[in-house]
Amino acid sequence: MIARKLDGQALAETIRGEIAPQVAAFQTRYGRPPGLAIVLVGDNPASEVYVRGKLKSGRAVGFRADLERLPATASLEDLLGLVARLNLNTDIDGILVQAPLPKGLGPDAETRVFDAIAPEKDVDGFTPGNVGRLVQGRPSLVPCTPLGVIELLTREHIAVAGKRACVIGRSDIVGKPMALLLMQRDATVTICHSKTVDLPAVSREADIVVAAIGKPGLVTKEFVKPGATVIDVGMNKVTDPEVAASLFAEGHPRLAKFRENGSVLVGDVHPEVADVAGALTPVPGGVGPMTIAMLMTNTLRAAKARAAGGHVPAGR
Ligand code: NAP
């Protein structure tokens, strides 16, 4: 079996095409575009790339998309002050603080900064209020990556209700909200992590496997029931020739690209899984673009809710 490719890139473009006219209508009605502020502290190269993509996407749909930069030497107080100003800025509907924050800000910096974002502007869905509302199944701003996975499954007509789902990874930003969203859509969900015993056997039970681990190619054929849907959230930059060679056979164009560039972006799912799975998201071009599309969706929802003076309406 060669798995059907779940093209997140194409879907994300479709979604942006749906959002743009709504943004134009918002501008006409309220005399301003929805506003997104992205806060970037320091100069982490991967974060620079992600932030650039988010700003570009925001501007493409017609948002005001501001980059708010702070140097790596900024203090936690500087950052909290910036977030407080953005909370009060009436032209800004969505605030995203790009993680990871520089280590120098301290071990609890991310928690403190995410906690400080006004819940109605929390387009990443990380604030405790929005997380709590998600747990209770109440309308909220939902983390973009798991929301993007649900959107992808829905638009690709992959049934979730009654299916067995295995989420590998239990982080606050991906694994946990992913499991909740699948459960709310009536899947029977198993959450796995680094202490799970016989992970391949547990995963093999599932009709839908979501890998959010951060380990290149960890999910091999042994993890996948024939015909299962496999969603690869992982985004790993491989620079080790041995790892690259363990993922791509000699002659594979991506191995050639690795040798050319010295690195290659891969997921948590081994390419061999395409021989077993029924459907599979590629990396790049799967969950990543859907995550950015959901940031656009969340920002528009936040803008509409703020402009109407009400609560954020129910999303997917
Ligand atoms: P994280 O916070 O590091 O969490 C990783 C999870 O994987 C943890 O729950 C960990 O278990 C589990 N894990 C680690 N090694 C394992 C193993 N050998 N077997 C089973 N489980 C294992 O990572 P994250 O932020 O959720 O991100 C996961 C991946 O998704 C990364 O590659 C990241 O770059 C990518 N990502 C992509 C997007 C996107 O837009 N595509 C967005 C966010 C993240 P423990 O809890 O037991 O430690």
Kindly state whether residues 35 and 102 are assigned to the same domain. yes
Contact 230/277 with Cβ under 8 angstroms? yes
Q: What is the 3-state secondary structure (H, E, C) of the chain?
A: CCCEECCHHHHHHHHHHHHHHHHHHHHHHHCCCCEEEEEEECCCHHHHHHHHHHHHHHHHHCCEEEEEEECCCCCHHHHHHHHHHHHHCCCCCEEEECCCCCHHHCCCHHHHHHHHCCHHHCCCCCCHHHHHHHHCCCCCCCCHHHHHHHHHHHHCCCCCCCCEEEEECCCCCCHHHHHHHHHHCCCEEEEECCCCCCHHHHHHCCCEEEECCCCCCCECHHHCCCCCEEEECCCEEECCHHHHHHHCCCCCHHHHHHHHHCCEEECCECHHHHHCCCEECCCCCCHHHHHHHHHHHHHHHHHHHHHCCCCCCCCC
Tokens of 308: 């109407």
Mean pLDDT for 138-146 is 95
Which of 118, 135, 169 is where one domain is finished? 118
- Enter the pTM of the model: 0.97
Alpha-carbon distance of 176 to 235, in angstroms, equals 18
Atom of ligand 1 nearest to the CA of 174: 26
With beta carbons less than 8 A apart as the criterion, state whether 82 and 40 touch: no
Answer yes or no: do 210 and 250 share one domain. Answer: yes
User: Helices 175-184 & 128-135, crossing angle to 10 degrees?
Assistant: 30
The one-letter code for the residue type at 127 is: T
Give yes or no: residues 232 and 149 share one domain: yes
Q: Does some domain include residue 315?
A: no
Domain that holds residue 99: 30-118
Cα–Cα distance for residue pair 290/197, rounded to 1 Å: 31
- Asked if the structure places residue 316 within a domain, the reply is no
Confidence tier at 283 by pLDDT (50, 70, 90) = very high
In a domain, 51, yes or no: yes
Same domain as 192, residue 239:
yes
Residues 149 and 279 in one domain: yes
One domain for residues 217 and 281: yes
pLDDT confidence of residue 313: 58
CB 38 within 8 A of CB 306: no
Cα–ligand 1 centroid distance for 174 (angstroms): 8
Nearest CA to ligand 1 atom 16: 194
How many structural domains are present in the chain? 2
The reported pLDDT for the residue numbered 309 is 86
174: Cβ below 6 Å to ligand 1? yes
Give yes or no for a contact between 236 and 211, defined as CB atoms under 8 angstroms apart.
Answer: no
Does any domain span residue 134? no
Domain boundary residue among 79, 101, 118? 118
Confidence label for 145 from pLDDT (cuts 50, 70 and 90):
very high
Same domain assignment for residues 172 and 60: no
Contact between residue 160 and residue 187 where contact means Cβ atoms under 8 Å apart: yes
Same-domain pairing of 161 and 276: yes
| Assigned domain for 136 exists | no
Catalytically active residues, by annotation? 54, 98, 124
| Bridge partner list, 35 | 64
Mean pLDDT rounded to a whole number for the chain = 96
Ligand 1 pocket check for 173: Cβ under 6 Å: yes
How confident is residue 291, by pLDDT bands cut at 50, 70 and 90? Answer: very high
Q: Are residues 178 and 166 in contact, defined by beta-carbon separation less than 8 angstroms?
A: no
Our measurement of the distance from residue 208's CA atom to the centroid of its chain's CA atoms, rounded to an integer in Å, reads 18
70 with 112, same domain: the answer is: yes
Looking at residue 68, which CATH number applies to its domain? 3.40.50.10860
pLDDT value at residue 181: 98
Over residues 42-80, the pLDDT tens digits come to: 999 999 999 999 999 999 999 999 999 999 999 999 999
Structural Rg of the chain based on CA atoms? 20
Q: Is the pLDDT of residue 202 over 80?
A: yes
Q: Is 287's C-beta closer than 6 angstroms to any atom of ligand 1?
A: yes
* 315 confidence band (pLDDT: 50, 70, 90): low
Phi-psi label, residue 125: left if phi above 0, alpha if psi -120 to 50, beta otherwise: left
Residue 311 lies in a domain: no
- Give pLDDT, residue 139: 85
Mean pLDDT of 94-119: 96
Residue 217: give its domain's CATH number: 3.40.50.720
Question: Closest ligand 1 atom, CA of 193?
Answer: 21
**The pair of three-digit structure tokens given for residue 73, joined into one six-digit string:** 């030497």
Q: Would the pLDDT of 180 be above 70?
A: yes
Same-domain pairing of 103 and 196: no
Burial of 109 (0-12, 13-18, 19+ CB in 10 A): buried
Mean pLDDT of 177-193: 98
Query: How many angstroms separate the CA atoms of 186 and 192, rounded?
Result: 18
Whether 175 and 114 share a structural domain: no
- Is residue 60 included in any domain, yes or no? yes
Residues 174 and 242 in one domain: yes
Tell me the CA–centroid distance for residue 4 and ligand 1, in Å.
24
Ligand 1 atom with the shortest distance to the CA of 287: 41
Evaluate if residue 250 carries a pLDDT over 90.
yes
Substitution site in 235, 264, 296 for ligand 1 pocket (most atoms within 8 Å of beta carbon): 235
Position 89 scores a pLDDT of: 98
**Tens digits of per-residue pLDDT, 22-34?**
999 999 999 999 9
In the reported structure, the alpha carbon of residue 196 is separated from the centroid of ligand 1 by a whole-number distance in angstroms of 14
**Over the stretch 251-269, which tens digit does the pLDDT of each residue have?**
999 999 999 999 999 999 9
202 falls within a domain: yes
Amino acid at 102: P
Distance 212 CA to ligand 1 centre (A): 4
